[in-house]
Amino acid sequence: MHSIFGLLVGAALAGLLAALVTGLGALGSLEQHSGLAAHRALGLGGSILVLLTHSVVLVYLIGTGRAIKDATNDYQLDAGFYALHRAIKWRAAPWATLNTFVIVAAAVLGGVVETGGAAAWLHPLAALLALLLNAVGLPSIWRAIRDNGVLLDQVVAASWEKNRPVLESGGDPKPQASLLTPAGWALLLALSAWLPWLYLRFVMGRGSVPPWPFAALSAVLLALFAVAALRRADR
């Protein structure tokens, strides 16, 4: 999982850095020109990738937490496994949630500034803050995912040892719960709030449709589903 996370992070940060460069090149001008158009496309693409990355992190932690909890209960494993997972999860979840809000705020402010609804300096400030917080938070998230992977290996080994007689005799131990809960899938579906805007902008060619209402809706859905799913995993 941490290798997949690394690929997502690399793609997302590359998009955001490219958006920053093109945005600085177009700074002070809201006229339609290639630099601003590239900034919009790269900023939107990078923001969606960041949202996807943090959503995948939350879903992964929620799903593996449920699996560890079920394995602990089903096979009477050491309760310390789940306690350790919770500690790992709370090293990553706050960063993932915070960075989700910050990147959405930066994208929304970009649309607001372009329509003249806010001071021009707010968007670059929010974008720099988003890059800084992601640069600080992503290494912590990566370490948490790595440690969670090690923990999963330990749980699998303990489950195997507990079920060795059944497995060696060809029996089938109690099936494990799905890694992804309905709440976890719902968190990913929150990204679909962007689809109407993407369709209108790139398929219908309606460049006048602002992206910020869709970004705001996506942020609200992500927050609601993240909170609900994290509470469910802790029960």
**Domain chopping of the chain, boundaries:** 2-25+34-164
Phi, psi of 154 (to 5 degrees): -65, -40
Quote the mean pLDDT of the chain.
78
Kindly report, residue by residue over 102-121, the tens digit of the pLDDT: 988 888 888 888 778 888 88
- Name which of 108, 124, 131, 112 is nearest 193 in CA terms: 108
pLDDT truncated to tens, each residue of the chain (235 aa)? 667 777 777 777 787 788 878 777 766 555 555 567 778 888 888 888 888 888 888 888 988 998 899 888 888 889 899 999 999 999 999 999 899 889 888 888 888 887 788 888 888 899 889 989 988 998 899 899 999 999 999 998 988 887 777 656 665 555 444 445 555 555 666 666 666 766 666 656 676 777 777 777 777 766 766 666 666 555 5
Are residues 31 and 48 in contact, defined by beta-carbon separation less than 8 angstroms?
no
Q: Please name the residue that has the structure tokens 């500034």.
A: 113
Q: What's the rounded Cα separation, in Å, for the pair 177 and 66?
A: 8
